[in-house]
């Protein structure tokens, strides 16, 4: 008994000490700033409040790092508010690193048992990362580090979950967080249609970055930077939430979520993002085949109703059925496919997409000439060659097969969660045909987080 309680008491004892140290540091900062630079007084006063809170948060994360994972899951869908509410943009990376560091000093009862066998997808991801490192060495540290960060940074979330797995109650809380955020962001997305694009720009949103239109219709983006991550997030919420809600439809949380599904679907419509609909259909078909056959009937009826709605709503149907964006993608792929033959081992990590955008902005140049492949398989082949494409395919195959096997073993809420995650992996693999999925934040963070959560539901044999 003494041995088990010792680490917890030690961590709890640091709590007041950390707060006192933080308060002292804040007061020292206030004295220094106010005496030397009076204009910094507001910043120093903010530090007086923020530093103790951050110190207390770190202590709580050390006690149980799983709290950091849940906090990350709850906050990352709101990151798009940064455009109208100023706050440090690096908070996400800081939270991930602090949570991961906490797993190394957390009490033994918060950590997983040693000696577990890694899931098959983890080994493939390791090989994929090794290839990325080799490519980064070839292109130089500046481009290489940016490319590695864009592709692999949120794999650290999976590592944190693997070291400190979520308990059954925390896994249920994770599903609740996704359900609640899905409904809240969908409500705000519908409200944006009422507010209108002019008022949104007046609020501080930038035109053509967040405020976008298609055929004269505003594409709702909610608390995200653009409509695309918003729609993909709603897709993920539906794929995770539907099987979890059907486990126990009488539970209040599940009943409310099922009643809110029309709101989520309605907001998917006003986001005008066809890739999310394609991924949703693929995922729902999987859920219907392996667990809830009635969903296939609902899906069939839904397709009929959507087809009728598109016929009646002539204006918006033209936007959804337009082939212009797909033709643009075909043109991009056709114009650049020859580069694969010229560079069979790839042009180097970070040479296209989001990483190239960041590098170009850092150099003070325009990003209009940066290649946006709009296909993660094509992007990977351009940057890391045929070997990179093969490893990416292996990531999807091993991730799906691992989660699918786990879903077949489990029942109840864990089984439903694993089913939803398997459906989301299929959806991600499908959406990657028309989008650079792992560059669409926060979908990359959720992808690795959910994979690791399911992998720790049923620990592998030693």
pLDDT computed for residue 30 by the predictor: 57
pLDDT computed for residue 31 by the predictor: 57
DSSP label of 212: -
Average pLDDT per 10 consecutive residues for the chain, totaling 462 residues: 40 50 57 56 61 78 92 94 84 93 91 85 95 92 91 95 94 96 95 91 85 84 93 96 93 94 89 90 92 75 61 54 64 75 85 85 76 89 93 96 92 93 96 92 96 82 38
- pLDDT, tens only, 220-242: 999 999 999 999 999 999 999 99
- pLDDT, tens only, 254-266: 999 999 998 998 8
CA–CA gap between residue 130 and residue 401 (Å, rounded): 22
CA–CA gap between residue 355 and residue 348 (Å, rounded): 11
pTM over 0.75: yes
- pLDDT, tens only, 301-342: 566 666 665 555 555 555 555 556 666 776 777 777 778 878
Contact 199, 211 (CB under 8 A): no
Encoded tokens for 283: 């995922």
CA–CA gap between residue 430 and residue 439 (Å, rounded): 15
Half-sphere exposure of 100 (CA within 13 A, CB side): 14
Name beta bridge partners: 189. Answer: none
Q: Output 102-108 pairs: Cβ under 8 A, ≥24 positions apart.
A: 102/58, 102/61, 102/62, 102/65, 102/68, 102/164, 103/65, 103/159, 103/160, 103/163, 103/164, 104/163, 105/62, 106/62, 106/63, 106/64, 106/65, 106/164, 107/7, 107/8, 107/11, 107/63, 108/7
CA–CA gap between residue 325 and residue 170 (Å, rounded): 41
Half-sphere exposure of 358 (CA within 13 A, CB side): 15
């Amino acid at each position: 008994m003494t041995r088990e309680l010792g680490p917890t008491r030690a961590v709890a004892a640091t709590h007041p000490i950390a707060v006192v140290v933080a308060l002292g540091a804040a007061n020292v900062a206030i004295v220094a700033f106010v005496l030397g630079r009076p204009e910094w007084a507001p910043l120093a006063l903010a530090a007086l409040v923020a530093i103790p809170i951050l110190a207390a948060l770190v202590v709580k994360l050390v006690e149980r790092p799983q709290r950091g994972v849940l906090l990350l899951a709850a906050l990352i869908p709101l990151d798009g508010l940064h455009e109208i509410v100023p706050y440090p943009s690096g908070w996400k990376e800081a939270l991930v690193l602090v949570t991961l560091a906490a797993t190394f000093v957390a009490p033994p009862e918060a950590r997983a048992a040693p000696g577990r066998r890694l899931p098959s997808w983890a080994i493939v991801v390791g090989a994929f990362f090794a290839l990325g490192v080799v490519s980064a060495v070839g292109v130089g540290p500046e481009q290489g580090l940016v490319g590695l960060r864009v592709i692999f940074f949120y794999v650290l979330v999976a590592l944190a979950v693997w070291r400190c797995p979520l308990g059954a109650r925390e896994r249920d809380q994770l599903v609740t967080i996704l359900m609640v955020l899905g409904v809240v962001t969908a409500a705000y997305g519908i409200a944006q249609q009422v507010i209108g694009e002019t008022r949104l720009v007046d609020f501080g949103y930038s035109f053509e970055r967040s405020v976008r239109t298609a055929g004269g219709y505003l594409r709702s983006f909610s608390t995200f930077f653009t409509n695309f991550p918003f729609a993909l997030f709603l897709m993920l919420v539906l794929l995770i939430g539907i099987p979890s809600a059907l486990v126990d439809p009488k539970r209040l949380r599940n009943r409310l979520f099922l009643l809110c599904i029309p709101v989520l679907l309605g907001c998917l419509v006003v986001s005008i993002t066809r890739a999310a609909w394609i991924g949703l259909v693929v995922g729902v078909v999987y859920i219907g085949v392996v667990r809830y056959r009635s969903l296939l009937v609902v899906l069939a009826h839904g397709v009929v109703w959507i087809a009728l709605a598109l016929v009646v709503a002539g204006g918006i149907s033209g936007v959804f059925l337009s082939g212009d964006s797909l033709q643009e993608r075909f043109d991009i792929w056709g114009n650049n496919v020859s580069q694969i033959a010229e560079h069979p081992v790839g042009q180097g990590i970070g040479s296209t997409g989001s990483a190239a955008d960041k590098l170009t902005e850092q150099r003070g140049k325009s990003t209009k000439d940066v290649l946006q492949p709009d296909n993660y398989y094509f992007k990977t082949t351009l940057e890391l060659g045929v070997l990179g494409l093969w490893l990416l395919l292996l990531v999807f195959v091993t991730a799906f097969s691992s989660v699918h096997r786990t879903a077949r073993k489990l029942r109840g809420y864990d089984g439903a969660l694993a089913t939803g995650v398997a459906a989301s992996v299929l959806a991600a693999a499908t959406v990657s045909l028309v989008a650079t999925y792992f560059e669409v934040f926060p979908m990359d963070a959720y992808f690795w987080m959910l994979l690791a959560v399911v992998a720790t539901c049923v620990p592998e044999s030693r």
